[in-house]
Structure 1
Amino acid sequence: MTSLFPEQFADAQKANVDATYRFATEVFGTFEKLVKLNLQTMKTSLDVQAARWQSALSGNGAQALFDAPQGAQTLAERVAAYNRQVFDILMNAQAELAQLAGAQYERQARKVQTGVDQAAKSGPVGSEAAVAALNSMIHATNSWYDSLYKTARQAVETAESNMNVVAEAAKRTQSGTPHATSGRK
């Protein structure tokens, strides 16, 4: 048994390093996607502002600074699109991290269950109650994890639904705005 312990310890450490690396890679990838999105958003914003200035300086007057350039999305549409993209990036990262955490949890649960099973086989007479209690605890923990995962998934779906409702409301509000301000020109 003592000769197996260092190997088991090394295997556990390798698995932990691998899991940590996978988590870190996913987090870094998510950060990279957010940086790219923010850079693209800044570039688009600069392009829109440059088009507004060009229009205003081309004889269209100061009002051109406030009007959306032809072919450009309105501010509400750009904000809604940005928020949807951020939400998508974060939800994809959350799903991937949840999958990685779930796989890690399942590996650890199998190891614990294997240890309990081995202890039950080599345990003294009368240890059945302790083994049954450990199995019950493992089952309760697995049920709790499943419940927690389902609750988190429902929260994500609710947030996604709310984001879509808000984006649609913003789009409807923005599309109604030009008609209200057109009389003031």
Structure 2
Amino acid sequence: MSPFMPDQFAAAQNANLRHLFALTNLAFDGFQKLTELNLQAVRTALADGQDNVEAVLAGKDLREVLAVKGNPAQPAAEKAVAYARHVYEIASSTQAELSKAVEAQYEQHNRNAQAFVDTFVKSAPAGSEAITALLQSSVAAASSTYQSFQNAAKQTAEIAKANFATTAAAASGAAQQAAPRASKQ
């Protein structure tokens, strides 16, 4: 029996296409969430701008108009930090879902490759020990390389997460420090 069956090849291609469509849908869901966040941010900015214009127009004298201006630095900085946090959460959750899907696909591919090698080894003619050993070591090396890349990607994601948290905290602190200074002016 030959390890190269057309039905198996067609089934593998169908599985790969299903996986591609699943990844595309995950990416599209992340894009949709980001688009919805951006639309909400624009709506909020328009509403805030309208409220400010209406408050300025409602002022009866210069003192009331200047009082409306208040201190926009802190709320604007807080909104920017909140927006960045939402973008990061969307990107991070989308990346995590994509990583899970790719990892599951890789594990399935690895199992299939190992099954192929096992089938090949069982049906290999005498004297092909070098080829079978090469196939087995190639599968093991590919698996080891993938694990190294996966570990590096996880470490990079953790570092990015820590850097984002530090940056967000610093930006929030800077906005809070700027608020009292701006109100004194």
TM-score, structure 1 length as denominator?
Answer: 0.89
CA distance in 1: counterparts of 2:155 and 2:76, whole angstroms: 31
What is the alpha-carbon distance in structure 1 between the residues aligned to residue 68 and residue 147 of structure 2?
Answer: 56
Contact 1:53 1:64 in 2 (8 A): no
Partner of 1:97: 98
Aligned to 1:29: 29
For 1:104-183, what aligned pairs fall within 5 Å after superposition? 104-183=105-184
User: 1:63 offset after TM fit, Å?
Assistant: 5.6
Quick one: distance in 1 between partners of 2:82 and 2:146?
34
Give the residue type in structure 1 aligned to 2:142.
T
> What amino acid does structure 1 have at the position aligned with 2:55?
S
Which deviates further from its counterpart, 111-120 or 33-42?
111-120
* Matching residue of 2:7: 7
Letter of the 2:122 counterpart: K
Rounded to whole Å, the distance in 2 between the matches of 1:82 and 1:178 is 19
Name stretches of at least 5 consecutive residues in structure 1 with no aligned partner: none
Opposite residue 175 of structure 1, the aligned amino acid is Q
Whole-angstrom distance in 2 between the partners of 1:177 and 1:21: 48
- Listed one character per residue, the Cα deviations across residues 69-125 of structure 1 (whole Å, up to 9, x for unaligned) are 9xxx71111111111111111111111111111111111111111111111111122
Q: How many residues align?
A: 180
The 8 Å contact of residues 77 and 175 in structure 2, kept in 1 or not, is answered as yes
Contact 1:52/1:66, CA 8 A, preserved across alignment: no
Map Cα deviations across residues 46-88 of structure 1 (whole Å, 9 max, x no partner): 111122212222212146346349xxx7111111111111111
Shift of residue 153 of structure 1? 1.1
Distance 1:63 1:147 in 2: 59
Question: Unpaired runs of 5+ in structure 2?
Answer: none
Structure of greater relative contact order (alpha carbons < 8 Å, 6+ residues apart): 2
Which is worse superposed, 77-86 or 106-115? 106-115
Q: d(CA) in 2 for partners of 1:150 and 1:104?
A: 17
Whole-Å Cα distance in 1 between the matches of residues 68 and 133 of structure 2? 76
Is the 1:76–1:174 Cα contact (8 Å) retained in structure 2? yes
Q: Given the superposition, is the C-alpha separation of residues 5 and 168 from structure 1 closer, same or farther in structure 2, using an over 3 Å criterion?
A: same
Alpha-carbon contact 1:52-1:67 (below 8 Å) kept: no
Q: Are 1:49 and 2:45 matched, yes or no?
A: no
2:71 aligned partner? 67
Question: Is the 8 Å Cα contact of residues 34 and 86 (structure 1) preserved in structure 2?
Answer: yes
